[in-house]
């Protein structure tokens, strides 16, 4: 151990800096620092040596060059117990640096701000910080590298006992390399986005090389099945309207399947401005409704398929109030989890004290659930590779929809068709959905034949389908689907169109007096 214990501190995020630095000084460390970090320490009365005084070389170019110096990196990379390294350090007045405390310029936080220019973004590309982290992490046998305020207490505790253990230094080094890898990936992705890769820029959003950086939020008990291991990872700075930004207020640990279903619930209720409720089972909506009140929306959603609703995941697009909680707590209901923008205090108390499942139900809160967010990409693994596409979240262009039948939908039918279309886009293909009065009545999902999905939706809806509407996520390839929905009593249909037999399907609708809208947009969900 050198006679002088030296720590180099250079921070963008100064949370916890002062007490940590005071602790290091109390343990006998001399502090080296730069720029804003040094000024913060000086204002707090913490003794600190400017890096420029140590190197004998001034900061220059608006601070772009300050720590890129042999006396800094020699102190980080030198191995004092190797004769050649020790001689070089002695010859050039290089003191070993025992601890490096560094986090990086806020590049990611900068590029997500609206209207940020490339020049502004590029100025937030840290050079010296990653260089110091990599040098210290490479030489972790001798140097501790600290990258987060969350590490400060443990670092001080180990230093109180003498020095950082090798195992802890290796753990800190791994975290540092993870940080620089994520940082470099964000820069590479941003720079690729500034460059047209395809002949007309068609590949701008799909870089030639794709590296994803996600942080583990939690380890899960298991995956889809008990024999599968699983974990939940989140992206850096997830939009506040996403599941990753939701907060768990109550209940037992979330499972892999819970998370999938909660995300599906959020995606659907985000579609509506009226009070909306959705009932999710196995990633499909078995019930969904809009109404004047949230309580009524829930009652209608649950009534869509009450058998399937047992043990379901629920989503709401309004604060869960006492009236809604009363309905949720009624006998015969069993709920696995709920996601909503918020919960009234009285509703929260009822949900966590009244029903039999009170201790287990997971209650998640996402206040920004309805906020707009940019269309993002989704990733799906195949063996040996990855499929990437834009999420199917772009707004529906309803003024481009076309009525293709002799009869035009009534105002009530039109409202139900729009409702059914928005819910149906979230149903697994082949998807057929029956609705009436802002309520889902029957869903046929995930079938190999569209006709099979039609039979299932009709079976689920039963007599309630009469005078209802039907949404289909893709075109009807034959008229047999129209024949079936006519038998069920459906009076209006919405579908993308695009089949070679569209004329045959339209003729069948005209024969039965069914109104049909073609949207020109398909919503497959495989």
Query: Domains (ranges, CATH) in the chain?
Result: 5-192 (3.40.50.1380), 248-365 (3.40.140.20), 401-518 (3.40.140.20)
Q: Quick: pLDDT tens for 240-282.
A: 999 999 999 999 999 999 999 999 999 999 999 999 999 999 9
Strands (E), 134-203: 144-146
Q: What is the pLDDT of residue 3?
A: 61
Active site residue 138: yes
Residues 239, 245, 246, 247: is their CA dihedral positive or negative?
A: negative
From 14, 138, 250, 252, the catalytic residue = 138
Q: Cα torsion for 23, 29, 30, 35, to the nearest 10°?
A: -40
Angle (deg, nearest 10), helices 166-193 and 128-138:
150
From 14, 252, 282, 358, the catalytic residue = 282
Mapping DSSP onto H, E and C, the string for 490-525 reads: CCEEEECCCCCCHHHHHHHHHHHCCEEEECCCCCCC
Counting as low any pLDDT under 70, the low residues of the chain are 1-3, 52-70, 73, 85, 196-204
- For residue 281, list its beta bridge partners: 284
- The C-alpha atoms of residue 168 and residue 30 are separated, in whole angstroms, by 22
pTM for the whole structure: 0.78
Distance from the Cα of residue 137 to its chain's centroid: 30
Q: Identify the DSSP state of 94.
A: P
Q: How far apart are the first and last CA of the chain?
A: 61
In angstroms, the Cα distances linking 518 to 96, 301, 437, 498, 508 are 72, 26, 21, 9, 15
């Amino acid at each position: 151990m050198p006679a002088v214990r030296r720590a180099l501190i250079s921070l963008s995020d100064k949370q916890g800096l002062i007490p940590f630095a005071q602790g290091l000084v109390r343990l006998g460390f001399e502090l080296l620092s730069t720029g804003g970090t040094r000024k913060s320490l000086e204002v707090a009365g913490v003794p600190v040596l400017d890096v420029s005084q140590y190197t004998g070389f001034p900061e220059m170019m608006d601070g772009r060059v300050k720590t890129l110096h042999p006396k800094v990196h020699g102190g980080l990379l030198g191995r004092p117990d190797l004769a050649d390294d020790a001689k070089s350090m002695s010859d050039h007045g290089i003191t070993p640096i025992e601890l490096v405390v560094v986090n990086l310029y806020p590049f990611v936080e900068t590029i997500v701000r609206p209207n940020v220019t490339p020049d502004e973004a590029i100025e937030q590309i840290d050079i010296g910080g990653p260089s110091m982290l990599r040098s210290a992490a490479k030489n972790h046998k001798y140097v501790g590298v600290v990258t987060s305020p969350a590490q400060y207490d443990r670092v001080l505790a180990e230093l109180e006992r003498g020095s950082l253990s090798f195992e802890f230094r290796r753990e800190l080094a791994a975290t540092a390399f993870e940080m620089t890898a994520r940082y470099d990936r964000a820069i590479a992705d941003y720079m690729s986005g500034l460059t047209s890769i395809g002949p007309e820029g068609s590949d701008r959003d799909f870089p030639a090389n794709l590296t994803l950086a996600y942080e583990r939020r939690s380890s899960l008990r298991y995956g889809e099945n008990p024999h599968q291991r699983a974990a939940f990872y989140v992206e850096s700075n997830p939009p506040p309207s996403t599941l990753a930004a939701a907060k768990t207020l109550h209940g037992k640990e979330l499972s892999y399947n819970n998370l999938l279903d909660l995300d599906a619930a959020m995606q659907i209720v985000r579609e509506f401005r009226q009070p909306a409720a959705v009932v999710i089972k196995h990633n499909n909506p078995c019930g969904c409704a809009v109404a004047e009140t949230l309580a009524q929306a829930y009652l209608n959603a649950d009534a869509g398929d009450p058998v399937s609703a047992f043990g379901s995941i629920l989503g709401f697009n309004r604060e869960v109030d006492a009236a809604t909680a009363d309905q949720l707590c009624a006998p015969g209901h069993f709920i696995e989890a709920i996601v909503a923008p918020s919960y009234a205090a009285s509703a929260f108390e009822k949900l966590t004290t009244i029903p039999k499942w009170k201790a287990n139900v997971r209650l998640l809160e996402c206040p920004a659930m309805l906020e707009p967010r940019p269309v993002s990409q989704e990733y799906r693994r195949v063996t040996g590779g990855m499929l990437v596409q834009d999420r199917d979240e772009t707004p529906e262009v309803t003024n481009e929809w076309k009525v293709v039948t002799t009869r035009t939908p009534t105002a009530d039918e039109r409202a139900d068709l729009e409702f059914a279309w928005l819910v149906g886009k979230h149903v697994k293909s082949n998807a057929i959905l029956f609705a009436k009065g802002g309520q889902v009545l029957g869903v046929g999902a995930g079938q190999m034949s569209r006709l099979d999905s039609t039979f299932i939706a009709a079976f689920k809806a039963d007599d309630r389908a009469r005078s209802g509407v039907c949404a289909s996520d893709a075109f009807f390839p034959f008229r047999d689907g129209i024949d079936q929905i006519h038998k069920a009593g459906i009076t209006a249909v919405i579908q993308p169109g695009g089949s070679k037999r569209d004329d045959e399907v339209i003729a069948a609708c005209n024969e039965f007096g069914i109104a049909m809208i073609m949207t020109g947009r398909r919503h497959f969900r495989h």
